[in-house]
């Protein structure tokens, strides 16, 4: 019997050790899991914190601060187009056109059929091109036109893309793709979509060519339609270009009466000095 008990004890001992070893292994696994779980939770919390702070800074129009937080947020959420769009807008608001264009490009690649993203990419690329060496800027022209036209292809009523093309075709020298007739074509399209934008675009074309009389006529037509701050300001600008001081004063009086924009009142007071 003693011999049997010893044998039984000898059999049970390894089993107890095995249970102890298993418990230690389970403890180590749980410890490691908990460590990484809390690390992931912490990283997620930091990411969410950047997103919340970036959103708040963007709403408060603190665009420099928003850029820092939104960049961190986007790096941790690379598929979040909404965050990336606000990041791009923050760059644009501070006129960092290179960063804006690079960020909009990511949006276009992720959302190729989004008309606004194509417009913003083409537009920011155009503004970046204007800020660099003219020789180097020529290399961007085809892409600028492509993405602006793509925006119109995706949204046949896209007003802003047409406006951008009017400006580009007027400002570019003929030798690198400028064309007054093409600019006028887009202005005519604007006239059908939005009469006030069409008149302003035609006024812009004539103003750019220093045809003050024709520009004034178009801006007067724009005022008659829209009666907006922009319409009045453009008309006043071209009247002052022609030294039509009294007409400009009358327009300023009307502009302030209609829009209640203080800038018109201040400008009128300066002219009366």
Residue 79's pLDDT is what? 84
C-beta of residue 119 within 8 angstroms of C-beta of residue 92: no
Please indicate whether residue 32 or residue 192 has the higher confidence score (pLDDT). 192
- pLDDT above 90 for 35: no
Q: Percent of the chain beyond pLDDT 70? A: 82
Backbone angles phi, psi at 86, to 5 degrees: -65, -35
Residue 273's pLDDT is what? 81
C-alpha pair distances (Å), 15 with each of 2, 26, 107, 145: 20, 16, 61, 78
Structure tokens at 54: 């970036």
- Can you give the three-state secondary structure of 130-157, one letter per residue? HCCCHHHHHHHHHHHHHHHHHHHHHCCC
Quickly count: other Cβ atoms within 10 Å of residue 51's Cβ: 21
pLDDT-based confidence at 224, cuts 50/70/90? very high
C-alpha pair distances (Å), 155 with each of 49, 124, 151, 159, 169: 36, 19, 6, 9, 20
- Selected from 3.20.20.140, 3.20.20.30, 3.30.360.10, 1.25.40.10, the CATH number assigned to the domain covering 62-72+80-177 reads 1.25.40.10
Enumerate residues 6+ apart whose C-beta is below 8 A from 26: none
CA atoms of 29 and 87, how far apart (whole Å): 41
What DSSP designation does 62 have? -
- pLDDT above 80 for 47: no
- pLDDT above 90 for 27: no
C-beta of residue 270 within 8 angstroms of C-beta of residue 240: no
pLDDT in tens, 56-82: 988 999 999 999 988 998 888 888 899
Residue 48's pLDDT is what? 60
Q: From the CA atom positions of the chain, what is the Rg in Å?
A: 32
Residue 213's pLDDT is what? 98
pLDDT-based confidence at 22, cuts 50/70/90? very low
- pLDDT above 90 for 13: no
What DSSP designation does 120 have? H
What DSSP designation does 100 have? H
Q: Percent of the chain beyond pLDDT 90? A: 69
pLDDT-based confidence at 21, cuts 50/70/90? low
- pLDDT above 60 for 185: yes
- pLDDT above 50 for 258: yes
pLDDT in tens, 115-158: 999 999 999 999 999 999 888 999 999 999 999 999 999 999 99
Distance between terminal CA atoms of the chain? Answer: 125
- pLDDT above 50 for 38: no
Provide the mean pLDDT of the chain: 87
Q: Where are the alpha helices (DSSP H) in the chain?
A: 2-59, 63-76, 81-93, 97-110, 115-130, 134-137, 141-154, 159-171, 180-193, 195-208, 212-226, 229-241, 245-259, 262-271
C-alpha pair distances (Å), 215 with each of 52, 158, 194, 236, 250: 47, 24, 18, 11, 18
Residue 14's pLDDT is what? 53
Residue 202's pLDDT is what? 98
- pLDDT above 60 for 168: yes
């Amino acid at each position: 019997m003693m011999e049997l008990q010893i044998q039984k004890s000898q059999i049970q001992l390894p089993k107890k050790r095995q249970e102890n070893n298993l418990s230690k292994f389970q403890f180590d696994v749980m410890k490691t899991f908990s460590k990484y779980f809390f690390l992931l939770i912490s990283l997620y919390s930091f990411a969410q914190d950047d997103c919340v702070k970036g959103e708040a800074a963007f709403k408060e129009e603190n665009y420099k601060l928003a850029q820092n937080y939104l960049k961190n947020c986007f790096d941790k959420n690379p598929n979040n187009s909404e965050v990336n769009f606000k990041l791009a807008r923050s760059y644009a608001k501070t006129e960092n056109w290179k960063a804006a264009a690079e960020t909009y490009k990511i949006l276009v690649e992720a959302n190729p059929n989004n008309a606004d993203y194509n417009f913003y990419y083409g537009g920011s690329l155009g503004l970046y091109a204007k800020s660099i060496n003219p020789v180097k800027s020529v290399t961007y022209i085809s892409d600028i036109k492509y993405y602006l036209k793509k925006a119109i292809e995706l949204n046949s009523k896209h007003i802003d893309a047409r406006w951008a093309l009017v400006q580009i075709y007027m400002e570019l020298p003929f030798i690198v793709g400028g064309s007054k007739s093409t600019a006028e074509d887009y202005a005519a399209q604007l006239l059908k979509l939005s009469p006030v934008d069409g008149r302003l675009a035609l006024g812009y074309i004539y103003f750019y060519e220093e045809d003050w009389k024709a520009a004034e006529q178009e801006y007067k037509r724009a005022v008659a339609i829209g009666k907006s701050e922009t319409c009045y300001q453009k008309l006043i600008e071209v009247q002052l270009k022609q030294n039509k001081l009294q007409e400009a004063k009358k327009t300023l009086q009307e502009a302030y009466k209609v829009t209640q924009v203080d800038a018109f009142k201040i400008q009128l007071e300066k002219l009366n000095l």
